[in-house]
Structure 1
């Protein structure tokens, strides 16, 4: 049986950062990617997506983001950047390898692929993010709504909604970015359960991520103390607040129900709607770990700084708030990858010292 020291599932930003950290520890990982390129979900995000962090704060370890460090890169620039990272990474990246399940017995992980093959490893790192597991809240009438319902993960461009009545559910960066873009083509409302909150993107003339870095807040280990991820305000230079103030899009409290093709608002009014877009975030895409019994009832993995609490040799990179506010971002995955890699390297060393496998 061929035995891999560390197998990384996912070759997006989290998997590439993990592979870089493993190579620094002298470990030759195998990285499995379900897609056809080591770029994670980035090619499938909506076309106009722009990072809310400047290029200088949007890089993986070992390779700065090219070009002007103060600009805000677009989606396709990130795709090109990740492709460059993979090209320069001395690692065995295998695309078209969709993992369907993982089992563990006698200190060995058995990884099952969609084509029926299996691989065996001493340690495994789950770095698959959440794009394939979009969160769809149980909103009243959503399942029977006769208009179009799609998650932000399925949204690409505004033109198909031209002239329509569209409601965007959610108050985060993506929700407001999508709603503002759509408002140039359609009549759009962004709706939230609470207030729509904005934070200045460039306080005192410097990008917010500069202040996160110099204060240490970006890497502060606050994740372990959170029972629920906090609501993050929309980062704004003033553009989005002005658009909402002008009613393009407008903002309303969450609707009370969907009924046929109509939407019922909390003030008692109702109107016809053509489409509802759920910009409601994601959950960890870790169904392939179900057989390991390491997920809670919500599909989240109990862990300590990225290492599974119930199973030695299993790690995670790229979970939202895994350790810090930047854990699921381009700039943060490298820190988390380095941390779990040190521990996994020690674990592999102890296995070898005891002559196991």
Structure 2
């Protein structure tokens, strides 16, 4: 069996930042990435996505994003940046390698890969993100809905509705987007140019301006220290997400494209019942309802709670020594699962793991 210092599961922004931090600690990480390239979930996001933070504040440690620091990079620019980062990273990166499960062993952990072979690691960092586990909430009547349902993870552009049974002639039918976060509002506004769209949520979307007093919101988050406050452990439930708005989305909602309603109270066939008792036919429901940590490979360890969330404190496992996480939402701070903040968490975790391995060597 092959033996490694640290196995980093996931080769997206979190895994790459972790490997960089581990190398600076003198360790030799091995990145295990299930897909064919080291760009995480970015290639699977919807076509029009851009970063919410400007390029000058969206870099991983050791490599500036480049270009105009005030622009908001497009999804494809982020992919190219992550591939460039991986090329310059002095680490063992293995793509097309999916981890099936992780179990404890005398010297740390045994990882069983999808093809059946195994390797052992003194430490493991779970950096697989959340995109592989879209959250599907229990909504009234949704299981009986006879129309097309897709999660935001499956959405690319309005043209992707072709083949879902949505009538393209004279428009794209009647669409309901469920959610109140950035993705929900952006997808709903984009579709509203092709269809009659409702943004449905339990709580209305809360907008915040992208620029305040001539500065990007993230400049203010940094200079005030809000972006790095270690508040994650105090939040059992993350706060309602704010929709970062450059002026377009609030204006679209105000204009009724999309219109906004409370989430439906029931469904029969393709007929949706709203909370005011009215009913109408709906062709497609898009669930922009977020994600949960994609960590099923850790279930043999017993470190996940009933909802699949890891038991940790600021990324350090509270159940298994040598196990850590990077890239969890609100892992430590507001920016923990973002390009601008994941490097800070990775540095902390790498320091903890390096200290642990050094202590074990001294004990021997």
Counterpart of 1:315?
A: 324
Counterpart of 1:272?
A: 281
Conservation of the 8 A alpha-carbon contact between 2:59 and 2:340: yes
Conservation of the 8 A alpha-carbon contact between 2:2 and 2:118: no
Conservation of the 8 A alpha-carbon contact between 1:59 and 1:330: yes
Q: CA RMSD in A?
A: 0.9
Counterpart of 1:213?
A: 222
Matched, 1:72 2:81: no
Conservation of the 8 A alpha-carbon contact between 2:31 and 2:92: yes
> Alpha-carbon deviation of 1:51?
1.2
Counterpart of 2:265?
A: 256
> Alpha-carbon deviation of 1:2?
3.1
Q: Write the distance in 1 (CA, Å) between the matches of 2:180 and 2:303.
A: 31
Indicate the SS of the match to 1:211.
helix
Matched, 1:225 2:234: yes
Q: Write the distance in 2 (CA, Å) between the matches of 1:286 and 1:133.
A: 9
Cα deviation digits, residues 72-106 of structure 1 (max 9, x gap): 11111100000000000000000000011000022
> Alpha-carbon deviation of 1:261?
0.4
Cα gap change, 1:121/1:160 in structure 2, threshold over 3 Å: closer, same or farther?
A: closer
Q: Write the distance in 2 (CA, Å) between the matches of 1:191 and 1:302.
A: 32
Q: Write the distance in 2 (CA, Å) between the matches of 1:3 and 1:185.
A: 54
Q: Write the distance in 1 (CA, Å) between the matches of 2:177 and 2:71.
A: 27
Indicate the SS of the match to 1:3.
strand
Q: Write the distance in 2 (CA, Å) between the matches of 1:105 and 1:156.
A: 42
Matched, 1:11 2:11: yes
Matched, 1:25 2:4: no
Q: Write the distance in 1 (CA, Å) between the matches of 2:134 and 2:185.
A: 17
Counterpart of 1:52?
A: 52
Q: Write the distance in 2 (CA, Å) between the matches of 1:315 and 1:31.
A: 14
Question: Could you state the TM-score of these two structures normalised by the residue count of structure 2?
Answer: 0.96
> Alpha-carbon deviation of 1:160?
3.9
Conservation of the 8 A alpha-carbon contact between 1:255 and 1:266: yes
- Structure 1 unaligned regions, length at least 5: none
Q: Write the distance in 2 (CA, Å) between the matches of 1:107 and 1:317.
A: 22
Counterpart of 1:185?
A: 194
Counterpart of 1:338?
A: 347
Indicate the SS of the match to 2:293.
coil
Counterpart of 1:111?
A: 111
> Alpha-carbon deviation of 1:221?
0.1
Q: Write the distance in 2 (CA, Å) between the matches of 1:100 and 1:117.
A: 10
Matched, 1:141 2:138: no
Conservation of the 8 A alpha-carbon contact between 1:31 and 1:92: yes
Conservation of the 8 A alpha-carbon contact between 2:101 and 2:300: yes
Indicate the SS of the match to 2:188.
helix
Question: Could you state the TM-score of these two structures normalised by the residue count of structure 1?
Answer: 0.98
Matched, 1:165 2:155: no
Counterpart of 2:125?
A: 125
Conservation of the 8 A alpha-carbon contact between 1:159 and 1:185: no
Conservation of the 8 A alpha-carbon contact between 2:130 and 2:294: yes
> Alpha-carbon deviation of 1:7?
0.6
> Alpha-carbon deviation of 1:28?
1.1
Count matched residues: 355
Q: Write the distance in 2 (CA, Å) between the matches of 1:173 and 1:196.
A: 9
Counterpart of 1:351?
A: 360
Cα gap change, 1:111/1:274 in structure 2, threshold over 3 Å: closer, same or farther?
A: same
- Structure 2 unaligned regions, length at least 5: 162-170
Matched, 1:175 2:184: yes
Q: Write the distance in 2 (CA, Å) between the matches of 1:88 and 1:8.
A: 17
The farther-off stretch of 190-199 and 164-173 is 190-199
Matched, 1:87 2:96: no
Counterpart of 1:237?
A: 246
Counterpart of 2:203?
A: 194
